[in-house]
């Protein structure tokens, strides 16, 4: 299968590309130039031919939706730029995916949408998010709305993965929403499935006695089997 991965400059994009490249054709993209061993296309995800060409021929799109810090640093209004990236650019990407008949888009959101809630609440995917005005939380929340509207039509189908705080193997796992990098990759690979609901949300974090969120849906549907342990 052919897979497009956005936000190529992130560690998660590189790890996911490495995991998929042995059996699949992977194309990476970002708003800025990124050094990578794989196929890379720089694209600003505008509404035009460049984005259409970027997505053409892809079976799946993984939209990690992480704007490069250099883009924010160069902006006179970094908060507006972050929101624009998560909304307008996400819309353009999904519109191109619709025209290219992409089988499914995987969108990376965040479990920080529930940061304002009590830690002892048994939060599942049916709970409504409670985003704060923090742009790092509000912007992916708005991105989810864009994805949901496309997904509800099934053109393309969209899977939203709300990710925990990314950590590396060997860390102490003290964060109650810790998600080890390899566990994150595993969940994303599991989400690359053309079957299933047209719009679906999964909570994804590593397991263990200290884990805050219920991940049974991801385990059952995606075959998610986290290897990293979040200590209590």
Could you give the CA distance from residue 228 to residue 63 in angstroms, rounded to a whole number?
A: 24
Neighbours of 12 (CB within 10 A): 20
Could you give the CA distance from residue 228 to residue 184 in angstroms, rounded to a whole number?
A: 10
pTM of model > 0.85 = yes
Which pLDDT does position 34 carry in this prediction?
96
Which pLDDT does position 141 carry in this prediction?
97
Which pLDDT does position 173 carry in this prediction?
61
Which pLDDT does position 208 carry in this prediction?
86
Could you give the CA distance from residue 125 to residue 140 in angstroms, rounded to a whole number?
A: 16
Query: Residues 202, 221: contact at Cβ < 8 Å?
Result: yes
| DSSP letter (8 states) at residue 207 | B
DSSP E strands: which ranges in the chain?
Answer: 2-5, 25-30, 39-42, 60-63, 104-110, 157-163, 165-167, 178-180, 199-204
CATH class of the domain whose range is 2-222: alpha beta
Per-residue pLDDT of the chain (232 residues; tens, 9 = 90+): 999 999 999 999 999 999 999 899 999 999 999 999 889 999 999 999 999 999 999 999 999 999 999 999 999 999 999 999 999 999 999 999 999 999 999 999 999 999 888 887 888 999 999 999 999 999 999 999 999 999 999 999 999 999 999 998 767 666 889 999 999 999 999 999 999 999 999 999 998 888 899 999 999 999 999 999 887 6
**Sequence-distant contacts of 123-130: CB under 8 A, at least 24 apart:** 123/203, 123/212, 123/213, 123/214, 124/203, 124/213, 124/214, 124/217, 125/162, 125/201, 125/202, 125/203, 125/217
What's the distance, CA 119 to chain centroid?
23
Where do the structural domains in the chain lie, given as residue ranges?
A: 2-222
Could you give the CA distance from residue 192 to residue 168 in angstroms, rounded to a whole number?
A: 23
């Amino acid at each position: 299968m052919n897979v497009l991965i956005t936000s190529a400059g992130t560690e998660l994009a590189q790890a996911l590309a490495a995991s998929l490249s042995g059996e699949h054709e992977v194309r990476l993209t970002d708003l800025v130039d990124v050094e990578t061993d794989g196929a890379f296309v720089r694209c600003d995800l505008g509404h035009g031919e460049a984005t259409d060409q970027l997505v053409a021929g892809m079976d799946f799109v993984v939209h990690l939706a992480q704007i490069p810090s250099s883009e924010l640093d160069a902006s006179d209004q970094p908060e507006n730029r972050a929101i624009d990236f998560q909304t307008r650019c996400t819309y353009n990407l999904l519109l191109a995916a619709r025209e290219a008949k992409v089988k499914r888009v995987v969108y990376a959101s965040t479990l920080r949408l529930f940061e304002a809630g009590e830690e002892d609440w048994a939060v599942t995917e049916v709970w409504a998010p409670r985003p704060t005005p923090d742009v790092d939380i509000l912007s992916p929340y708005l991105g989810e709305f864009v994805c949901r509207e496309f997904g509800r039509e099934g053109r393309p189908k969209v899977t939203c993965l709300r990710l925990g705080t990314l950590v590396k193997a060997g860390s102490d796992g003290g964060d109650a929403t810790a998600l080890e990098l390899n566990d994150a990759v595993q969940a994303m690979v599991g989400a690359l499935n053309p079957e299933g609901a047209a719009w679906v949300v999964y909570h994804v974090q590593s397991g263990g006695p200290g884990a805050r969120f219920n991940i049974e849906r991801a385990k059952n549907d995606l075959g998610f089997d986290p290897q990293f342990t979040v200590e209590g």
